[in-house]
Amino acid sequence: MADKKAQLIIEGAAPVELPILSGTMGPDVIDVRSLTNQGVFTFDPGFMSTAACESKITFIDGDKGILMHRGYPIEQLAEKSDYLEVCYALLYGELPTAEQKATFTAQITGHTMMHEQMKSFLNGFRRDAHPMAVMCGLVGALSAFYHDSLDNNNPKHRELSAIRLIAKMPTMAAMCYKYSIGQPIMYPRNNLGYAENFLHMMFNTPSDVQPVNPVLAKAMDRIFILHADHEQNASTSTVRLTGSTGANPFACIAAGIAALWGPAHGGANEAVLTMLDEIGSVENIEKFIAKAKDKNDPFKLMGFGHRVYKNFDPRAKVMKQTCDEVLSELGINDPKLELAMKLEEIARNDPYFQERNLYPNVDFYSGIILKAIGIPTSMFTVIFALARTAGWIAQWKEMYAGGYKIGRPRQIYTGHTQRDYTPINERG
Ligand code: CMC
């Protein structure tokens, strides 16, 4: 793996030879692990130039707009697969055979219910709490309810926790929503598909159980697939970093949810709709584009730009197509879609966005679909978290199976040098 070498010249010292590692795809990587022996280390805030792990799960080529899980292009998975199959591939490395799929589906459906006591825990939250705040709490609390599977060194426990998390996320997400609107919580129905069951728990009531529209269930499933994993993004890195301390998987996923919440990450889908509301109509687009370009204004065009994709986000293309399908099925003529398309057109023809390679990302159109399905804006990021749980837990499992070191970045210290303590009456 390390045939080539790089040489680092530090002024006044002998050259340092550093191995160059190659993956199966993607750029070569200079292995700087031995640098601390030379009394120096590297500086890379934002990890723009740093790989923190080896992984076989997801590959992204940001320049070419490629995203693959276990080698399968996202476009093929979105078109031909379903979310549980993608979960299986993320967790075990291969797409399942028919028998493996049936077993995996039975395992998941066998764990969809929550411990009844979780309802009392949920009742402690204010009904107007943001569902992401509730989700951080509920998922973190799972470790208090399911402590029969918390030995991280036991592969069977890791397996069981992964299954429980994927199975229970839709139930918890729907519980949050039902609680916020004061409706009774709906129990899962194990004869329904994964996305179908989620929509059942979200929108049915005990007094009125209607079949779920298959087009909407399919669209929901596709949204789950498109968000299932995205290699070492901020929340996944948070899950790995938390996991590297030996913390239990439920605590790690709660940490991932907290990281995802930010508007620069998973919170962007909610922020896109808020932004479209603020823009209001096509005439105001230019004003908002000018704001986004103004260095003195913190406003950014939500749903635009990506740390890795500098060409286009392949998920955004599939999302746009799904958006068209859902709106046509529901016969919705949403003026927000027209506004979003016009905004995209204007931004993509603007030199500011062109020069910086800023394209619509996965979140630009997902909000319009979710809104059409009837999902309230405050639940958008919860849906992202629900879907990303598969990727987070697959990455966590991979880290454990492969051996790991506690994550401990270094710093350049720029504070005071040593000085003596001054008594309070001598300060000022
Ligand atoms: N609107 C206006 N300008 C932008 C935007 C934007 N959305 N995104 C980046 N820029 C500018 C940025 O100001 C900078 O300009 P300059 O070179 O003149 O200083 C340049 O483009 C490079 O951007 P950056 O901030 O250095 O890029 P980054 O890789 O650090 O940030 C990002 C990536 C996704 C955080 C950022 O593009 C952003 O905040 N986008 C809006 C939020 C969003 O849609 N996030 C969802 C990301 S996809 C889903 C997910 O991963 O969770």
Note the pLDDT of residue 3: 75
Catalytic residue among 111, 306, 313, 350: 306
306 is catalytic: yes
Nearest CA to ligand 1 atom 9: 305
Residue 76: other Cβ atoms inside 10 A: 11
Residue indicated by tokens 């998973």: 266
Report the candidate in 299, 367, 373, 307 with the shortest Cα–Cα distance to residue 339: 367
User: Using CB atoms within 10 A of its CB, is residue 411 exposed (0-12), middle (13-18) or buried (19+)?
Assistant: exposed
What are the tokens at 179? 């609680």
- The string of DSSP letters for 293-312 reads H-TT-----TTB--SS-SS-
Note the pLDDT of residue 147: 86
What are the tokens at 175? 């519980």
Nearest CA to ligand 1 atom 16: 356
Catalytic residue among 82, 229, 313, 363: 363
* pTM of structure: 0.92
Note the pLDDT of residue 328: 87
The CB-based long-range contact list for 298-302 (8 Å cut-off, 24+ gap) reads 301/275, 301/343, 301/347, 301/353, 301/358, 302/263, 302/268, 302/271, 302/272, 302/274, 302/275, 302/363
Nearest CA to ligand 1 atom 35: 264
Residue indicated by tokens 């093929």: 76
Residues forming a β-bridge with 17: 7
What are the tokens at 354? 């062109």
Catalytic residue among 82, 265, 313, 350: 265
The CA 264 to ligand 1 mean position distance, Å, reads 8
Residue indicated by tokens 């709709």: 273
Q: CB-based contacts of 416: which residues, under 8 Å, 6+ apart?
A: none
Note the pLDDT of residue 2: 55
| Ligand 1 site residues, Cβ closer than 6 angstroms | 233, 264-266, 268, 292, 300-307, 356, 358, 361-363
- The string of DSSP letters for 349-391 reads TSHHHHHTT--B-THHHHHHHHHHHT--GGGHHHHHHHHHHHH
Report the candidate in 241, 238, 243 with the shortest Cα–Cα distance to residue 258: 238
**Would you give per-residue pLDDT tens digits along the chain (428 residues)?**
557 899 999 888 889 999 999 999 999 999 999 999 988 999 999 999 999 999 999 999 999 999 999 999 999 999 999 999 999 999 999 999 999 999 999 999 999 999 999 999 999 999 999 999 999 999 999 999 998 889 999 999 999 999 999 999 999 999 999 999 999 999 999 999 999 999 999 999 999 999 999 999 999 999 999 999 999 999 999 999 999 999 999 999 999 999 999 999 998 888 999 999 999 999 999 999 999 999 999 999 999 999 899 888 999 989 988 888 888 888 888 888 889 989 999 999 999 999 999 999 988 889 889 988 999 999 999 999 999 999 999 999 999 998 889 999 999 999 999 999 999 999 98
Asked if residues 372 and 315 have their Cβ atoms less than 8 Å apart, the reply is no
User: Using CB atoms within 10 A of its CB, is residue 3 exposed (0-12), middle (13-18) or buried (19+)?
Assistant: exposed
CA distances from 402 to 53, 153, 174, 244, 342 (A): 10, 12, 34, 12, 47
Q: Rounded to whole angstroms, how far apart are CA atoms 349 and 358? A: 11
The CA 69 to ligand 1 mean position distance, Å, reads 24
Per DSSP, the three-state class of 204 is: coil
Which atom, in ligand 1's list, is nearest to the CA of 306? 34
What are the tokens at 220? 């929901």
Note the pLDDT of residue 1: 55
Report the candidate in 235, 203, 216, 197 with the shortest Cα–Cα distance to residue 330: 216
